[in-house]
Amino acid sequence: QIQTRGYSMPTLHHKDHTAVGCQASVATKYMETDDIVDLDWENLGFGLVDTDFMYMAKCGPDGNFSNGEILPFGPIALSPSAGVLNYGQGLFEGLKAYRKTDGYILLFRPEENAVRMKNGSDRMCMPAPSVEQFVDAVKQTVLANKRWVPPTGKGSLYIRPLLIGSGAILGLAPAPEYTFLIYVSPVGNYFKEGLAPINLIIEDNFHRAAPGGTGGVKTIGNYASVLKAQRTAKEKGYSDVLYLDAVHNKYLEEVSSCNIFVVKGNAISTPAIEGTILPGITRKSIIEVAESKGYKVNVGHQELIGSTI
Ligand SMILES: Cc1ncc(COP(=O)(O)O)c(C=O)c1O
């Protein structure tokens, strides 16, 4: 669905905001497109480029998030005793905005990220913004930074929502205050190979997630723990790590930051969502598109042997 309506730039202190309805895809009329940042768009990697604005909303013990504000991008203040710093009580999301040739900006299924954050917040004992609040906050942040959306075909504006236990807590318990924050950065391809195939190393020593753990939600703690295996893989010339299941050490799980599909002729197969892999929005979309194109999609245990990935 494409929503075509004019937006105005959010002001610096945009307090009186009312949530707007959420759409499967969101497009904004981009009439003032001439104002694009002068960057080396041909050589964008996946690194942080500081942009103009970020979004921030807070939530106290009542569980309700304040109306968020668009603020200048920059450092945030945290108590050394913040729950996120001491006990890793935090979630993040990742989605993208694209500039189309016809002058619109598109978001890819942002409400799916909102729902995933809500599901993760339950696992992490955190309150979460509503789906409408999340999608609206994403829209506000993208619009405030629209001059950083790369030209069509040159990349995308990566959007990084964060939900963190920002309140101070000493004993192990949920934090008394939470911060929902969104920042953005223009990016190119995640892997330096671009769309060319990448080499993955199968990891059978370290595991990313175990049954009953947090592999199925996008909590920050899932990521620091893969750095060691990822560093070893890169030292050996691989782009990333493909993890196996923690129980049998033989079924495919996922890569450090993406899901995996096995392709054999007209059939594509992917591991089931059983709590140890992230329910990727790309994965869900690929399944829907593949089925609509007549591919047979198998969802379940995938053994490594004889697979084309
Ligand atoms: C571990 C992991 N798996 C899969 C994905 C893919 O998720 P999505 O398709 O929603 O971006 C991500 C995304 O960052 C991830 O971190």
pLDDT tens-digit series, residues 97-152: 999 998 899 999 999 999 999 999 999 999 999 999 999 999 999 999 999 999 99
CB neighbours of 118 closer than 8 A, spacing ≥ 6? 128, 130, 131
pLDDT digits (tens, 9 = 90+) for 44-82: 999 999 999 999 999 988 999 999 999 999 999 999 999
Antiparallel, parallel or unpaired: β 156-165 and 104-107? unpaired
Please state which of the four CATH numbers 3.30.420.130, 3.40.50.80, 3.20.20.80, 3.20.10.10 is assigned to the domain occupying 200-303.
3.20.10.10
Instruction: Tell me which residue has its CA closest to atom 3 in ligand 1.
Output: 258
Phi, psi of 97 (to 5 degrees): -115, 140
Active site residues: 218
Q: Is residue 276 scored above 80 in pLDDT?
A: yes
Task: Give the type of residue at 286.
Answer: I
Question: Topology of 53-187 in CATH?
Answer: D-amino Acid Aminotransferase; Chain A, domain 1 (3.30.470)
Which range (102-116, 131-145, 193-207, 270-284) has the least confidence? 193-207
Q: Is residue 203 scored above 90 in pLDDT?
A: yes
Ligand 1: atom nearest CA of 256 is 1
Give 278 Cα–ligand 1 centroid separation in angstroms: 6
Give 288 Cα–ligand 1 centroid separation in angstroms: 17
Q: What token pair was written down for 64?
A: 């309700």
Q: What is the pLDDT of residue 4?
A: 28
Is 30 or 39 the better-scoring residue by pLDDT?
39
Whole-structure pTM over 0.85, yes or no? Answer: yes
Average pLDDT of the residues in 269-278: 97
The CB density around residue 157, as the number of other CB atoms within 10 Å, is: 24
Confidence category of residue 207, pLDDT binned at 50, 70, 90: very high
pLDDT digits (tens, 9 = 90+) for 290-305: 999 999 999 999 887 6
| Substitution site in 119, 278, 283, 287 for ligand 1 pocket (most atoms within 8 Å of beta carbon) | 278
Q: Is residue 267 scored above 70 in pLDDT?
A: yes
Q: What is the pLDDT of residue 259?
A: 97
Give 86 Cα–ligand 1 centroid separation in angstroms: 25
Q: What is the pLDDT of residue 34?
A: 55
- Domain extents in the chain: 53-187, 200-303
Q: What is the pLDDT of residue 262?
A: 93
Q: What is the pLDDT of residue 194?
A: 85
Closest CA to 41 of 193, 123, 147, 197: 147
Report the distance separating Cα 23 and Cα 138, nearest Å. Answer: 12
CA distances from 260 to 80, 136, 155, 248 (A): 38, 30, 22, 18
The CB density around residue 265, as the number of other CB atoms within 10 Å, is: 8
Confidence category of residue 306, pLDDT binned at 50, 70, 90: low
Phi, psi of 73 (to 5 degrees): -65, 135
Instruction: Tell me which residue has its CA closest to atom 16 in ligand 1.
Output: 257
Give 256 Cα–ligand 1 centroid separation in angstroms: 8
Average pLDDT, the chain: 89
Q: Do domains 53-187 and 200-303 have the same CATH topology?
A: no
Report the distance separating Cα 228 and Cα 205, nearest Å. Answer: 11
- Cβ(100)–Cβ(215) below 8 Å: no
Confidence category of residue 94, pLDDT binned at 50, 70, 90: very high
